[in-house]
A and B are shown apart, each in its own frame.
Chain A
Amino acid sequence: MAADLNPDWLACLPSSWSYGVTRDGRVFFINEEAKSTAWLHPGTGEAVVTGHRKTPDLPTGWEEGYTFEGARCFINHNERKVTCKHPVSGQPSQDNCIFVVNEQEADHSGPGDGSHPCPTKTTKPAAKAPATEKKERPTSTMSEASNYTGGSNYTGGSDYAAHPGSPAARPSRSSKKVHNFGKRSNSIKRNPNAPVVRSNWLYKQVPSPDREVVMVMLILRSSDGPAGSRCTLSEK
């Protein structure tokens, strides 16, 4: 435990620097001379605890993050910006094929910055097959999508008031499972005329992990389902 009490990054702080810890557990560094703060460690040039991830393929001072909806993005702590392009390959992440990543609301660049905003990337959606063809989906791009939409959290009372097709009450857990299938079927049928919000709702319900989560919940009470990503259409 001694190593834990004195993390390595503490030992090599330059003399005019100290560190702070936010109320939610993130670590930042304080330059007492310049009266500034940064997420990056002044010696290593890397972030320590920010809630994002450092992956081996990223340069110094970069981290991988995700939008609220689950699209992958890259955080450039050196210039304090967020981008959807991988800093080495220059390409948007393949994981983002189910999203259109719009950078219009990214932070403004400083003067003289030659970087360009990411072009809007549009990918054709995977063809939605009728029910009889559902079994073939796991081998297609839907398996990627399932990582992002995940299942719903079933531990609390579910509130489906936003979706007019859902009944208000469900008597037991087993009927919850049955109802879940029914809801998905209704969502699929309604899609042609549904507004965007409902389309996103449909999207969340399609992936197979949903079914898996339900089964897990029936077996082991102590687990929660995975948190799903909420697809929200931003309005200007």
Chain B
Amino acid sequence: MEQKNSYDDYQLPVVFLPSYENPPAWIAPQDRVHHPDYNNELSQFLPRTIVLKKPPGAQLGFNIRGGKASQLGIFISKVVPDSDAHRAGLQEGDQVLSVNDVDFQDIEHSRAVEILKTAREILMRVRFFPYNYQRQKERTVH
């Protein structure tokens, strides 16, 4: 009971709201070709489909990170070189939007792993989104 009493003094962690993050400031059109926040093609960030066939017992060829607990989604954290996943164009920083019609944007990590592990054929919707991938890595506790 002594241990319990001492917890009465436990303080809730105090958090501060983040400041509003503005978009990049306007610059003249002729300067945009050199500006790293202006000279990006939209196409590289659009959703795309990856199809993988996985024989029983085979490795997936990639690692995932994230899940509901991290609030930012499921991301590909590593792709094994020379794997089918690598040849299909999967890359680190891809967010998994869905797998075989299951929405992955608010899924528990353990369930995501189970779905990927048990599927024989994976039809995966992904999009490259380094902003949230980076935010998630910064919040990872080692």
Contact = CB atoms under 8 A, between A and B. Distances in A.
A222 B59 contact: yes
Q: Main SS of the interface on chain A?
A: loop
Interface residues of B, number: 69
Given A69-B13, A148-B69, A199-B11, A22 B37 contact: yes
Interface of B: 3-4, 6-7, 10-20, 22-26, 29, 32, 36-38, 40-43, 45-49, 59-72, 77-78, 109-110, 113, 117, 127-132, 134-142
Nearest to B46: A4
A227 B141 contact: yes
Given A73-B17, A152-B142, A230-B141, A125 B7 contact: yes
Interface string A85-111: 000000000000011111111110000
B13 A204 contact: no
A103 B19 CA distance: 10
Interface of A: 1, 4-5, 7, 19-32, 35-39, 49, 51, 65-71, 73, 75-76, 80-84, 98-107, 122-123, 125, 127-130, 146-153, 155-159, 188-189, 191-192, 196, 199-200, 203-204, 209, 212-213, 216, 220-234
Contacts of A71: 15
A15 to B, nearest CB: 15
A228 B72 CA distance: 11
A231 to B, nearest CB: 4
5 contacts: A24-B129, A99-B15, A125-B12, A148-B71, A222-B62
Nearest to B113: A223
Given A150-B69, A228-B69, A229-B141, 14 more contacts: A20-B23, A29-B23, A37-B23, A65-B18, A83-B17, A100-B14, A101-B15, A102-B16, A123-B12, A157-B142, A159-B142, A222-B59, A224-B63, A233-B14
A200 B13 contact: yes
Contacts of A65: 18
A150 B12 contact: no
Nearest to A68: B139
B26 A155 contact: no
Contacts of A27: 42, 45
Contacts of A146: 69
A99 B127 CA distance: 32
Contacts of B13: 69, 98-100, 200, 203, 231-233
Contacts of A229: 69-71, 139, 141
